[in-house]
Amino acid sequence: MTVATASIIHSTSADSASLANLLTMNSGKPEDLEVLLALFLSAIIGLAGAKAGAVRVLTDDGKFMRLLAQQGLPDEVVQNERLVERHCGACGTASSADVLVWVDDLATCAKKGHNLYFGSQCKSMLAISLHHNQQILGIYNLFFDNTTKIDVSIQTLLRLVGQLLGLTLHNAHIERERLRLTVMKERQDMVNEVHDALAQTLAYARMRLPLLSDAIHAHDEPQALKYFSDLKTAVTEVHDNLREVMTYFRTRMDPLGLIHALTTLADGFFSRNAITLEISNAVPHLDLSDEQEVQIFYIIQESLANIAKHSMARHAVVRISQTPQHLEFVIEDDGLGMDEPNVSTIVTSARPLVPSTHFGLDIMQGRAKRLGGSLEVASKDGVGTRVLLRIPFVTDKGCEAS
């Protein structure tokens, strides 16, 4: 906000204070937009001495203006004004250039609306452009019960407010687009997870079906039992992997970040599993992107789920540390350990992750691979299990550290 704008605001009664607070609000979130506009209209109507107000935004095709918010308009007017042509009268002029248009002859509006509001209750109207970076996003209207024009200083303020509200609409559009892309990405991630977790096992089961059929027709009972056992194992694995995928997509990442999410997880871990969980973080600034935090959280969550289900442990710990090249996340427990004493898989290698009976490890592998890192799973000195996730360390600018 400029010094001139602040000076005008602070010189114009109590309504100005409300408007000043409004213009400093964080208004980029779509869910806040209706509340913001309601506050905006209430403050600006009082400041300008108007009786009603409305905010209109251009439709995506640019041919119409949609009523986004209003204060003080009769219901009949609201219904008639929900969608108007972009180039209609003074509103059309304001939607085509960065201008403030004053109208005291409302015959056109009255004729179009087929009601007694324009010209009777409403004697004059202002239409002010909402623009951002040379782009007109819509307009806002103020409706007056007299034809006395407002002061030049207030007109200047109203145009500056139009610019700020244009920025608000621009930010809301960006946030909606971000959310749309996020939803699309989550859907694609779900498709990828389902494919990675299920496709290979289902293909294996499909190949076993004709072999089982042949063995049954040949009355070869040993082979039939073998193929039946293979199918039973495959179906069980598909079921458990699908359950893991569903668990991942039910869980939302904590908006306060990875460390807060892990701390929250630790707070309720003992009550759910009778295992104490410690979070030890030696890295004050992780500098991770939202996507990295989500993938890391799910890997740690799955590791802790395996500890809760299989380890019979009393204590578990998540340690976060840093080397010159990597961030390291270690998940350890003091339980029974793994069936295979030295299971270790580097994600960047071509070897499959084993053993397959540890459900969810294949999904953890895929997530670590997307992070460009490695995942190692092994028994810890014969007691308990140790999972090490190592990802390349990145700077604030998103480049790998040298």
Assess whether 173 and 258 both reside in one domain.
no
Assess whether 282 and 390 both reside in one domain.
yes
Taking Cα atoms as reference points, which of 80, 68, 86 lies closest to residue 140?
Answer: 68
How crowded is the C-beta side of 395, counted as CA atoms within 13 Å?
5
Per the structure, the complete domain to which residue 335 belongs is given by 254-402
Backbone region of residue 358 per phi and psi (left: phi > 0; alpha: psi in -120 to 50; beta: other values): beta
Q: Is the pLDDT confidence value at 213 over 60?
A: yes
Final residue before a domain boundary, out of 142, 177, 212: 177
Q: How far apart are CA 282 and CA 330, in angstroms?
A: 12
Assess whether 378 and 268 both reside in one domain.
yes
Q: Is the pLDDT confidence value at 119 over 70?
A: yes
Other Cβ atoms closer than 10 A to 275: 19
Assess whether 261 and 398 both reside in one domain.
yes
Domain annotation covers residue 211:
no
Judge contact between 58 and 68, C-beta under 8 A: no
Assess whether 150 and 10 both reside in one domain.
yes
State the greatest distance between any 2 C-alpha atoms of the chain, in Å, as a whole number.
Answer: 101
Judge contact between 282 and 308, C-beta under 8 A: no
Angle at 80 between CA 74 and CA 83, to 5 degrees: 125
Assess whether 15 and 152 both reside in one domain.
yes
Question: What's the mean pLDDT in 126-131?
Answer: 89
pLDDT score of 324: 86
Question: What's the mean pLDDT in 100-126?
Answer: 85
Final residue before a domain boundary, out of 113, 146, 177: 177
Domain annotation covers residue 110:
yes
Residue 343: CB partners within 8 Å, gap ≥ 6? 354, 355, 377, 378, 379
Q: Rounded to 5, what percent of the chain is helix, strand, coil?
A: 50, 20, 30
Strands 276-281 vs 315-322: parallel, antiparallel or unpaired: parallel
What's the pTM? 0.46
pLDDT score of 394: 60
Backbone region of residue 129 per phi and psi (left: phi > 0; alpha: psi in -120 to 50; beta: other values): beta
Domain annotation covers residue 74:
yes
Q: What pLDDT, in 10s, does the model give residues 138-158?
A: 899 999 998 877 888 888 888
Looking at residue 336, the DSSP 8-state letter turns out to be -
Q: How far apart are CA 173 and CA 165, in angstroms?
A: 12
Q: Is the pLDDT confidence value at 397 over 70?
A: no
Single-letter residue type at 216: I
CATH of the domain at 394: 3.30.565.10
Backbone angles phi, psi at 322, to 5 degrees: -140, 135
Q: Is the pLDDT confidence value at 351 over 90?
A: no
In the sheet that holds 326-333, the strands lie side by side as: 276-281, 315-322, 326-333, 385-392, 374-379
Judge contact between 326 and 335, C-beta under 8 A: no
Structure tokens at 102: 């004053």
pLDDT score of 170: 79
Q: How far apart are CA 52 and CA 65, in angstroms?
A: 18
Looking at residue 65, the DSSP 8-state letter turns out to be E
What confidence category does residue 2 fall into, taking pLDDT thresholds of 50, 70 and 90?
very low
Structure tokens at 387: 């999972």
Domain annotation covers residue 277:
yes
pLDDT score of 362: 73
Q: How many domains does the chain have?
A: 2
Q: How far apart are CA 352 and CA 84, in angstroms?
A: 61
Q: Is the pLDDT confidence value at 10 over 50?
A: no
Domain annotation covers residue 236:
no
Mean pLDDT (the chain) is: 78
CATH of the domain at 7: 3.30.450.40
pLDDT score of 360: 65
Q: How far apart are CA 184 and CA 92, in angstroms?
A: 35
